[in-house]
Amino acid sequence: MNIRFEQSGTKERNLAMELVRVTEAAALSAGRWMGRGDKEKADQAAVDAMRQALDGVDMDGVVVIGEGEKDEAPMLYIGERVGNGSPPQVDVAVDPIDGTRLLSLGLPGALAVVATAERGTMYSAPPGVFYMEKIAVGPAAKDVIDINAPVAVNLERIARAKDAQIDDLTVIILDRPRHQEIIRQIRQAGARIRLISDGDVAAAILAAMEDYRGVDVLMGIGGAPEAVLAAAAIKCLGGAMQCKVWPRSDEEREKFKAEGIDLDQVLTIDDLVHSNDVSFAATGITSGELLDGVQYFGWGARTSSIMMRSRSGTVRYIQARHKWRRGLGASQAQTAR
């Protein structure tokens, strides 16, 4: 991976690093629930820890991508103010656990995720819109994808942009019945497929990373909030993403049309995050391809995180050791920077 040195000011660097401390806190709390089969308690542990950590961050933040509305607390709800109120003013997107089912079953790939961008620049899906059709790639193919083009055409363009053949490519896609047709088309075109059970934020990041060779493109239908979080990361990585609102039924399609939602509109990465000052952080909860999970010891724990900034293009991998302070139940990170 190319190492880049940031030229930005101290305040911006501190905000970006504080986001890592937020995701670390959520991961450390949620990781205790790995494999215990209780998604609700795992979610609550992650949310409580993330909310407390966010309150100490030097920012005036508003949650625009969260778990729900205020009456659904304890989730971090849309419109909630976070941070200590000092500048900068930012939109905040959170997913205390991306892959709650993965965590509850002890499966790989669960993450704690948070992203920020300048106030008013993050896309907020219309009420009732929960899913989007997506395609995401890294920098090499960012100018060639078209979500309206046939699968085979996109794969041919991506292969050409990467100086490869279609059968060299790997497509990552959620293992869902709704994807039967797109899977058939991918196989017919000759590309390889990696099916995942959950966690398409991590999958989109893997598809966009220049220094990761295991995945070339994300395709398929996933959550709308996850699309914005993924877009924030992909913007930092220099890749591209396109999305379209996806109705789950004919009834929902007609409802969206009646509400004036344009189902043909293609949302680009700039539509999803219209800012050039984006920060993204994630910490592994259970070990996966992107990050190692939390490891607990008698003396404390270890975490693995990734931090990105769009302005500089910097990507940092952070291994941290957290030593418990006797009697306080807190942790102190000794972070490798």
Tell whether residue 239 is among the known ligand binding residues.
Answer: no
Output the six-digit token pair for 202: 């991590």
Q: Cα–Cα–Cα angle for 298, 300, 306, nearest 5°?
A: 140
What amino acid is encoded at 269 in this protein? I
60 marked ligand binding residue = no
Is 293 annotated for ligand binding?
Answer: no
Q: Is 317 annotated as a binding residue?
A: no
Cα–Cα distance measured from residue 115 to residue 135, given in angstroms and rounded to the nearest whole number: 20
* Distance, CA of 337 to CA of 14 (rounded, Å): 13
Is 199 part of any known ligand binding site? Answer: yes
153 backbone dihedrals φ, ψ, rounded to 5°: -65, -45
| Annotated binding residue 131 | yes
Pairing of strands 315-324, 300-309: antiparallel
Cα dist from 286 to 30, 202, 258, whole Å: 10, 12, 42
Q: Is 284 annotated as a binding residue?
A: no
In eight-state DSSP terms, residue 166 is: G
Here the tokens at position 157 are 């363009």
Q: Is 176 annotated as a binding residue?
A: yes
Does the annotation flag 123 for ligand binding?
no
The verdict on whether residue 264 carries a ligand-binding annotation is no
67 is known to lie in a ligand binding site: yes
Question: CB atoms < 10 A from the CB of 183, how many?
Answer: 18
Q: Annotation-wise, does 168 bind a ligand?
A: no
Cα gap 101→157, rounded to integer Å: 35
Annotated ligand binding at 177? The verdict is yes
Binding residues, by number, are 43, 67, 95, 98-100, 131, 176-178, 198-200, 223, 226
Binding residues for Mn(2+), by number, are 43, 67, 95, 98, 226
Binding residues for substrate, by number, are 98-100, 131, 176-178, 198-200, 223
